[in-house]
Structure 1
Amino acid sequence: MEATQIKKDIRKFSLDELKTWFVENGEKPFRAKQVYEWLWKHAAQSFTEMNNVSLALREKLDQNFAINIVTVANHQRSNDGTIKSAFKLYDANIVEGVLIPHDERMTACVSSQVGCSLTCKFCATGYMERKRNLDAAEIYDQVVRISEQSQKNYGVPLTNIVYMGMGEPLLNYANVVKSVERITAPDGLNMAARRITISTAGIAKMIKKLADDGVKANLALSLHAANDVKRNEIMPINESNSLDALAEALTYYHQITGRKVTYEYIVFENFNDSLQDAEELLRFTRIIPCKVNLIEYNPIAAALFRNTDDDHLSKFVHYLADRGVQVNVRRSRGKDIDAACGQLATKEKQLA
């Protein structure tokens, strides 16, 4: 018996590669550009949607290729309007993404991996196994689906995208960068790169590569401690990417790009919320121009951390601000549906 042919994912092909295939299969090369725009600019979910392409060509495409779309398996809406979605991938894996409405912004928080390998002690995703990387189209589709939710529920388009969902973006570098290119391209979603932020737990050599490759998205570092002993305790990645190594990489990044970096810092009770911790963070902010987001901790069942109290937080904020640091306090959104920062973790029931 002849083995069943597995169709190739058409969105893994570049425009030039598609043109080559079209010519080899007796089609005009300009047809490849039409199909490419249907895939990326119009986010077509099937070949039948491509109504300026002949039926014969659509059938030929369907015989040879697949469009491995991402669908919303289910979603939850928070009391504050945040919407968390469980996205089902073509192979039945699940990742989560979040629409965060806030004042004048509509932000999509997207995942880059199924699970995560970094085992950060305060993050629910860190307690999951990393199953695989997402490809660029799967990241792109999350943005499209969340944008549809924004339009449907709020009547406005997305304004911002943050790569702060499940997984470490810089350990899926090629696909993350390609997704940024497709999201910002005129024949893609045409979003401004300055509205996109890639967040990393700190992969020093890949921070340098972002600079070398001229990736236009903003960079955020999940810092959470400016002391190697404490950071090693909660973020094992620090053992191979120490604060000194990160400082050197960030200096290089700023020299090449000229851009500020954002430091994300969860303030844990009796762990990193003292004025000594604030002084250590202050010294780290002197390395390059930056801003600091102090983040409310969002409890997870697997960890015993607690959020610092308002008095400690206020003193921490004033210590930094009084010394010239641009500091913001980020309050959690979507905590009641486990959609807040550090709470994303797929449940088995979502696979049903």
Structure 2
Amino acid sequence: MQNIRQLSKEELTQWMTAQGLQKFRANQVWEWLWTKQAHSFADMTNLSKELRQQLGEHFSLPALIIDESQYSADGTVKSRFKTWDGHAVEGVLIPTDERKTACVSSQIGCSLSCKFCATGYLDRKRNLTFDEIYDEVVLINQQSLRVYDQKLTNIVFMGMGEPLLNYQNVLKAIERISAPDGLGMSPRRITVSTAGVAKMIKKLGDDEVKFKLALSLHAANDAKRHEIMPINDTNDIKSLIEALNYFYQKTKNEITLEYILFDSFNDSLKDADELIKLYRQIPADLINIIEYNPIDMAQFRKPTEEKTDAFMAYLDKHKVNARLRRSRGKDIDAACGQLANK
């Protein structure tokens, strides 16, 4: 049966009228699907029993469910979601005093094989559909309300998978998340992070998206980036600089560079200098310098505090807007690069 959430409002209305039903019934069902977030037809209590039964005979309503949640000592909550076809995917609630952020996934597994990322060692099973991504946000928002008595303030597409290789579903999910008859969140509070798919970054510009963009850079020259991120073979730094400038020219949206520090790999002052030169070629608002979180599959290590401080001081000295991002949820494998359905 067809997934009812794959219908547009117009298609749902057409189906209702074809059944001899009044048009306002479509509005009621639409509200249950997207605003009230019903996960079964039985939940739609202002519809007649007959109509609910009719919907159930014609349509499916698959929805993510939380399979298990883990709670970190620092307040982070990691959840493993189960899909209708039995796959697992993870999402994270990251709380601070100022904001409550959902870190959501876009694919089940990943095809990019970044050497420092636990998800990169998983096979990509399939893309998440836009309604599954929507469910992630809904479920994490419910957690935030339950645990912190606060709604989500921000969403980052920094979980499992490469968002720009699931382009249509990610954009449709964001449209539903930001729609007044969806979750009503401003797209300015949503950040999509990419490992760097240059042609799709340009497509974001052509589509004049309203959300923020983050590039997972992690090395400022092609030789090193190739070593840890195979995607650099087909999307080198020059092509990414060009794509990011094109994106900014079209949208004027905020761009952030993400840079994980690896001990004795990309943490020298020479590396910092290369990063500064690259930063000067892009209209980036910020460089997020990220603590590395060890994973079993890789031999990378976190630099010493002294080396990290020296790296940050060098960026500051050269008037670079950089921030050191401390990892959250490390004790439950919820931090950056650790999501692997453990």
TM surpasses 0.5: yes
Match of 2:326 among 325, 328, 331: 331
Deviation at 1:61, TM superposition (A): 0.5
Alignment partner of 1:58 is 2:56? no
User: Residues of 2 paired with 1:208 and 1:27: CA distance?
Assistant: 44
Match of 1:258 among 248, 252, 262: 252
Output the amino acid matched with 1:310. Answer: E
Output the amino acid matched with 1:28. Answer: Q
User: Residues of 2 paired with 1:37 and 1:198: CA distance?
Assistant: 27
Structure 2 SS opposite 1:92: coil
Asked whether the equivalents of residues 205 and 250 of structure 2 are also in contact (C-alpha less than 8 Å), the reply is yes
List runs of 5+ in structure 1 lacking aligned partners.
1-6, 348-352
Deviates more, 1:336-345 or 1:288-297: 288-297
Instruction: Show the counterpart of 2:161.
Output: 167
Alignment partner of 1:80 is 2:74? yes
Structure 2 SS opposite 1:253: helix
Instruction: Show the counterpart of 2:127.
Output: 133
Instruction: Show the counterpart of 1:214.
Output: 208
Output the amino acid matched with 2:106. Answer: S
Deviation at 1:20, TM superposition (A): 1.7
Structure 2 SS opposite 1:226: coil
Instruction: Show the counterpart of 2:287.
Output: 292
Instruction: Show the counterpart of 1:227.
Output: 221
Structure 1 SS opposite 2:166: helix
Instruction: Show the counterpart of 1:40.
Output: 34
Instruction: Show the counterpart of 2:140.
Output: 146
Deviation at 1:143, TM superposition (A): 0.6
Asked whether the equivalents of residues 260 and 288 of structure 1 are also in contact (C-alpha less than 8 Å), the reply is no
Output the amino acid matched with 2:321. Answer: Q
Asked whether the equivalents of residues 13 and 26 of structure 2 are also in contact (C-alpha less than 8 Å), the reply is yes
TM-score where L is the length of structure 2: 0.98
What number of residue pairs does the alignment pair up? Answer: 341
Q: Give the alignment of 1:247-326 within 5 angstroms.
A: 247-290=241-284, 291-326=286-321
Asked whether the equivalents of residues 68 and 90 of structure 1 are also in contact (C-alpha less than 8 Å), the reply is yes
Structure 2 SS opposite 1:62: helix
Output the amino acid matched with 2:311. Answer: F
List runs of 5+ in structure 2 lacking aligned partners.
none
User: Residues of 2 paired with 1:334 and 1:249: CA distance?
Assistant: 33
Deviation per residue, 1:38-69 (Å, 9 max, x gap): 10111111112222222221111011111111
User: Residues of 1 paired with 2:254 and 2:141: CA distance?
Assistant: 27
Structure 2 SS opposite 1:11: helix
Deviation per residue, 1:53-112 (Å, 9 max, x gap): 222211110111111110000111011111100100000100000011112110100110
User: Residues of 2 paired with 1:258 and 1:8: CA distance?
Assistant: 39
- Identity within the alignment, %: 59
User: Residues of 2 paired with 1:325 and 1:31: CA distance?
Assistant: 55
Asked whether the equivalents of residues 168 and 200 of structure 1 are also in contact (C-alpha less than 8 Å), the reply is yes
